[in-house]
Amino acid sequence: MAGWSALGLSAKSAESSQADSSQETSQKNRLPNRSLSSGFPAGFLWGTATSAYQIEGAVHEDGRGASIWDRYAHTRGKILDHGNADVANDHYHLYKEDVRLMKALGAKAYRFSIAWPRVFPEGAGSPNPKGLDFYNRLLDELLANGIEPFATMYHWDLPEALQDRLGGWVSRDTAKAFADYAGYVAERLSDRVKHFFTVNECSRLVHLGYGAGSDAPGLRLPQAKLNQVRHNVALGHGLAVQAVRAHGRVGTRVGPAENMVTCIPAIETPANIRAAEIATRQLNAGYLTVMLEGKYTDEFLASAGKNAPKYTAEDLSIISSAVDFVGLNVYTPNHYVVAADNAPGFTLAPFPASFPHMDSTWLKIGPEAMYWAPRHVAKLWDVKSIYITENGTSAADEPAADGNVYDVDRIMYLRNYLIHLQRATSDGVPVLGYFLWSLMDNFEWSDGFEKRYGLYRVDFNTQRRTPKLSASFYREIIERNAVV
């Protein structure tokens, strides 16, 4: 297996190193001598990722309208540390410094999101040119520094006006407003942005925003309404794809950035791999499956029963408008799968209480997710271009006595996920690039500023950014185009 050879862990070398003199052993273990197979394809794109509400601040500046996250974060008891993102990383003013941080990593790409309420303060109607100007400044700065911009159209900051007026994604009019906004942005920015992502993580915004109520707008809708929300979000994605095609320059690329349910064969036998593929199709039925197949699976419709969403055949063809790539946010193994003889053909293994996780309990450590997520997408749906649009971890970072943050747990996590990404590319899975979440610590939604995901530590009192050890680690990876 490529993964083993990438590690240089063949049984033979382990044995012979025992016999080597200590000097020879240390020579052998020196990083520059790592086998070529730890490398990524030439031109592989390394970047970092952020989102507007999590870093920009300046929520009242230059005519920005309110978003559902402004209201949610200002509602008592919703955010763990009672924080809000009114200032956050003050990136709106410090963006030049932040582009320098990217440049210091050697990163060649940056995934950021555009705040819909900056561009259309009321969600629809009159645009606000001053809001769009911020992104003009940011794009010019990125390009001047040799960093390719990848823009997400919607990373959860819905204009509050659309929530108040339409009930947000409960209404398909929100999907239409989203497409109008997406077309407007594509028209004005596609001279410099060649890649757009439509919706960031349909699944999380639907389940946590409208089902569990732990993300904005904080609703707990019954199943039938929730299924309609899910359908409307998928429709919004499809309409936005069409709007980018209609209004963007020729050659503008567009696709989703989805946090798919990643199903991993518990043991890599052909039967378990097949079972994991079946599970992947079914457990992503409302998102990637319908986007890439143009229909809801029979199992999805049967299990929804009378609560199934209402839709037309035309909706399905809009939702499945051809995309240029699929973006995947990969953090954690959602399920380990074992083949089963009876329907549905798979068993989802329960997670033992001892299963390890990072600083967030949901963030279980399963680096092989980084192999199987893109591999399933490439195999099941014949997708030819994939980006890892997010991967990274929270860690309990604390500056040591010397002031440095030695986040060796983040490095451990990243290294192991990247080994599996390298396994994927060397197996021919068409992953073209990787965006590490996140460039810097930021507002982590309902966890407030308590959870830190950055390569750079941010002191939110002074706005000082300081590289953690993981920043040096990532710089090495980028420089060598290989796992170190």
127 token code pair? 């645009």
Phi, psi (5° rounding) for residue 227?
Answer: -65, -35
Q: What angle do CA 474, 476, 477 make, to 5 degrees?
A: 65
**CA atoms of 484 and 481, how far apart (whole Å):** 9
Angle at 111 between CA 473 and CA 79, to 5 degrees: 90
Question: What is the binding site for ligand PNW (CB under 6 A)?
Answer: 51, 200-201, 204, 259, 329, 331-332, 362, 390, 437, 444, 453
Which of 183, 209 has the CB closer to ligand PNW? 209
Nearer to ligand PNW, 252 or 332 (CB): 332
Establish whether 15 is a catalytic residue: no
Rounded Cα gap, residues 27 and 10, in angstroms: 17
CA 44 to chain centre: 18
Spot the catalytic one: 122, 148, 201, 444. 201
Nearest approach, Cβ of residue 302 and ligand PNW (Å): 26
Minimum CB distance to ligand PNW, residue 5 (Å): 30
CB atoms within 10 A of CB 310: 10
How far apart CA 260 and CA 344 sit, in angstroms, is 19
Q: Nearest distance from residue 200's CB to ligand PNW, in Å?
A: 5
**Of these residues, 258, 368, 390, 444, which one is catalytic?**
390
Q: Work out the number of other CB atoms within 10 angstroms of the CB of residue 24.
A: 12
Whether omega for the bond prior to residue 438 falls within 30 degrees of 0, making it cis, is yes
Closest approach, Cβ 393 to ligand PNW, in A, equals 8
CA-CA-CA-CA torsion for 389, 392, 393, 394, nearest 10 degrees?
-80
When CB distances to ligand PNW are compared, the closest residue is: 362
Choose between 81 and 133: whose C-beta lies nearer to ligand PNW: 81
* Residue whose C-alpha is closest to residue 231's, from 210, 216, 261: 210
For ligand PNW, the closer CB: 95 or 443: 443
Among residues 145, 167, 73, the alpha carbon closest in space to that of 447 is found at: 73
3-state class of 286 per DSSP? helix
Minimal distance in Å, beta carbon 341 to ligand PNW? 30
Structure tokens at 227: 């299924």
Whichever of 277 and 444 has its CB closer to ligand PNW, that residue is 444
The residue (of 190 and 446) whose beta carbon lies closer to ligand PNW is: 446
Rg (CA), the chain: 22
Closest distance to ligand PNW from the beta carbon of 442 (Å): 7
Directed axis angle between helix 408-426 and helix 369-381, to 10°? 30
CB-count exposure of residue 78 (10 Å: 0-12, 13-18, 19+): buried
Q: Which is nearer to ligand PNW, 78 or 172 (CB)?
A: 78
Active site residue 24: no
CA 386 → CA 317, 325, 436, distances in Å?
A: 22, 5, 15
Q: How far is the CB of 178 from ligand PNW (least distance, A)?
A: 17
Catalytic residues: 201, 390
